[in-house]
Chains A and B, each alone.
Chain A
Amino acid sequence: MKDRWPLFWLALHRRRRMLGALLLGMVAFEALIVVVAGALAPGDLFSSGGKGPPSAYQAFSGSSGNVSIASYPGLLGAGLTHPFWIAMQLTAIGSLAAAAVAADVESGTVELVMVRPVSRSRLLAERTAALLAVVLALNAAATVTVAAGVALSPGIHRAVPLSGVFAAGFMGIGFALCMIGPAMAVSAAGRRRSQVIGATIAIAAVGFAVNFIALAWTPAAPLRFLSPFHYYTPGDALAEGGVLWPQFGILAGVGLLGLLLAHVLLRRRDLAP
């Protein structure tokens, strides 16, 4: 274990096998998406009835604008909002956020750690840093895989600039931040790992459902502003070739607010099994 940032390294060391599997899974999945996108003619999708896909399908293409799933940016965006992609992100976030505080309290190891000259802020900072490192790696793996696929597919490359791929990857980090903040807040106040994992999954699932319903049903349209998937729009980033900074700012802002709340909650709580 490293002498500097031991809690950071410990978090990564304990989850190293799971993280390796997630990275491989992410690369394989995004490679498959690129291959599938290259094999399809997106314009022909949903064209048999003479109409395009329903507007709610934008939820699956990672767009809150006009990017249809029946387009290359829409298809690649679908790979970055697919339930498999979400599940891998949430597995990493839920697992490491749970391990940040709640799992140590549940298992009793928090006693050994926190009787040492370790401030609660430091515990949170090192564990958050480990989580950030993991989501950076995961999103980098997805981004590089998609970028490689786009670079090797002239048809896709004409519709999707590489800058859009990297912008979409950056938006993925924003989404992860948005999940990390609340997950860390639950961990900072919780006593069980299952509370954190459950809350993380619930936030994402409810968020996705709210966004889909808001796109499908006009009276519910205002609810879309409550969903992280309204702001996490890799399809739009892929089409526009740049980061959507206001959306990214909202995602990152929610994450930072969650971390601030985690800090407050951790300072006030008891740390014993």
Chain B
Amino acid sequence: MDDVPAIEVTGLTKRYEDVTGVDGLSLTVRTGEVFGFLGPNGAGKTTTLRCLTGLLRPTEGRVRVLGLDPLGEHLRLAPRIGYLPGELRLYPELSGAETLDLLAALQGAPVPRRAELCDRLGLTAPILARPVSGYSRGMKQKLGLVQALQHDPRLVVLDEPTEGLDPLVQETFFALLGEAAAGGRTVLLSSHILPEVQRTCGRVAIVRDGRLVTVESVAGLREARARRIRLTFDDGQGRRPLGAAERWAPQWQDDRVDLLVPPSEVVGALRGLLALRVADVTVEEAGLDEAFLDLYRDGGPEEEA
């Protein structure tokens, strides 16, 4: 069974009347992987996740999750999935405990992790006894995480999971993700928060306007896309011409400038820049956020490697 990819999407297209939510998207997520699904709001992430969970019917393309068709084999697939929607909506009349009971009853499976998860996320018995209509966004999100993980699913699909969580709870969440990965679970994490993807995911797919831009390892993405060259001048003159390096879209702040330069061109760029009266220079690997912006500047989608 482990030879079967956890998620296999081929040419997925989803149209809503005259709007295309996802356009010919293909990607594969391996079993046991923590996979990031990255893109700004409206890029098609949630639509893709809903197709994976059988909520939406693809207009075109083929979707397999744990080797099963999410629509045709929904009853076999759903017991193995834990899902946290991007905009978590709960029944306001129910208490937290009643909500978890309801969702466990619908899951039709034991919930071996509920007590532990509630404890770690700070959902105490008095909090769980209150109607969810009185919950803060963060508390609702914690409840959402418990319901997604309480039955210890093989595949966890999380849409913007850290929205509303305070930093301490985010740490607990990252620990839970790490444990899931160590336990051989597959995690698909959709987000537009780059540091959390950078921190938790091995590979990442980037989508834009419903199309796949790239699928790469996080490390590979950072390595391949850009280096940040930071020059510091000390003459107080501020912004000045940088010659050929102007094409790297310099970002000035007083006497300091940052340039994002492709790895193959760093040496050449430095030769030209060091001819200036530079007080200090640093070259570092760009973060995922810079790589992401770099990809978005590049334009056109590429096929998955």
Interface residues of A (CB under 8 A from B): 1-3, 6-7, 10, 13-14, 107-119, 268-273
Query: Bound complex: CA of A119 vs CA of B106, how far in Å?
Result: 10
Query: Bound complex: CA of A192 vs CA of B2, how far in Å?
Result: 42
Q: Is B250 an interface residue (CB 8 A)?
A: no
Q: Is B56 an interface residue (CB 8 A)?
A: yes
Q: Is B50 an interface residue (CB 8 A)?
A: yes
- Which residues of the other chain, B, contact A269 by a CB distance below 8 angstroms? 57
> In the complex, which residues 94-129 of chain B have their Cβ closer than 8 Å to any Cβ of chain A?
94, 98, 101-103, 105-108
B87 touches A273 (CB 8 A): yes
B90 touches A109 (CB 8 A): yes
Which of A109, A111, A118 has the most chain B CB atoms closer than 10 A to its own CB? A111
B101 touches A1 (CB 8 A): yes
A119 touches B55 (CB 8 A): no
Residue of A nearest to B105 (CB): A6
A117 touches B74 (CB 8 A): yes
Q: Say how far A122's CB is from chain B's closest CB, in angstroms.
A: 9
Query: Bound complex: CA of A114 vs CA of B88, how far in Å?
Result: 13
- Which residues of the other chain, B, contact A113 by a CB distance below 8 angstroms? 106
Mask of B61-83 contacts with A, CB within 8 angstroms, 1/0: 00000000000001100110101
Query: Bound complex: CA of A189 vs CA of B108, how far in Å?
Result: 27
A119 touches B75 (CB 8 A): yes
A112 touches B85 (CB 8 A): yes
Count of A-B contacts judged by CB separation below 8 Å? 74
Known: A14-B93, A109-B91, A272-B55. A116 touches B50 (CB 8 A): no
Query: Bound complex: CA of A153 vs CA of B74, how far in Å?
Result: 58
Known: A1-B98, A1-B101, A119-B74. A13 touches B56 (CB 8 A): no
> In the complex, which residues 172-186 of chain B have their Cβ closer than 8 Å to any Cβ of chain A?
none
Residue of A nearest to B52 (CB): A115
- Which residues of the other chain, A, contact B262 by a CB distance below 8 angstroms? none
Query: Bound complex: CA of A240 vs CA of B22, how far in Å?
Result: 63
Known: A112-B147, A270-B56, A272-B56. A118 touches B87 (CB 8 A): no
Query: Bound complex: CA of A117 vs CA of B68, how far in Å?
Result: 13
> In the complex, which residues 186-206 of chain B have their Cβ closer than 8 Å to any Cβ of chain A?
none
Q: Say how far B252's CB is from chain A's closest CB, in angstroms.
A: 44
Query: Bound complex: CA of A113 vs CA of B54, how far in Å?
Result: 12
Query: Bound complex: CA of A3 vs CA of B109, how far in Å?
Result: 11
Query: Bound complex: CA of A116 vs CA of B106, how far in Å?
Result: 6
Interface residues of B (CB under 8 A from A): 50, 53-57, 74-75, 78-79, 81, 83, 85, 87-91, 93-94, 98, 101-103, 105-108, 147
B85 touches A108 (CB 8 A): yes
Known: A115-B81, A119-B75. A3 touches B89 (CB 8 A): no
- Which residues of the other chain, B, contact A14 by a CB distance below 8 angstroms? 91, 93
Known: A115-B54, A115-B78. A6 touches B89 (CB 8 A): no
Q: Say how far B89's CB is from chain A's closest CB, in angstroms.
A: 3
The answer, among B53, B57, B75, B89, for a CB contact under 8 Å with A109, is B89
- Which residues of the other chain, A, contact B89 by a CB distance below 8 angstroms? 107-109, 111-112, 273
A-B contact pairs, 6 of them (CB 8 A): A10-B91, A14-B91, A108-B85, A111-B50, A115-B53, A116-B107
- Which residues of the other chain, B, contact A111 by a CB distance below 8 angstroms? 50, 55, 83, 85, 89
Query: Bound complex: CA of A10 vs CA of B50, how far in Å?
Result: 24
Query: Bound complex: CA of A7 vs CA of B108, how far in Å?
Result: 13
A116 touches B90 (CB 8 A): no
Q: Say how far B100's CB is from chain A's closest CB, in angstroms.
A: 10
The answer, among B50, B75, B83, for a CB contact under 8 Å with A117, is B75
Which of A1, A110, A114 has the most chain B CB atoms closer than 10 A to its own CB? A1
A13 touches B85 (CB 8 A): no
Residue of B nearest to A120 (CB): B74
Residue of B nearest to A1 (CB): B102
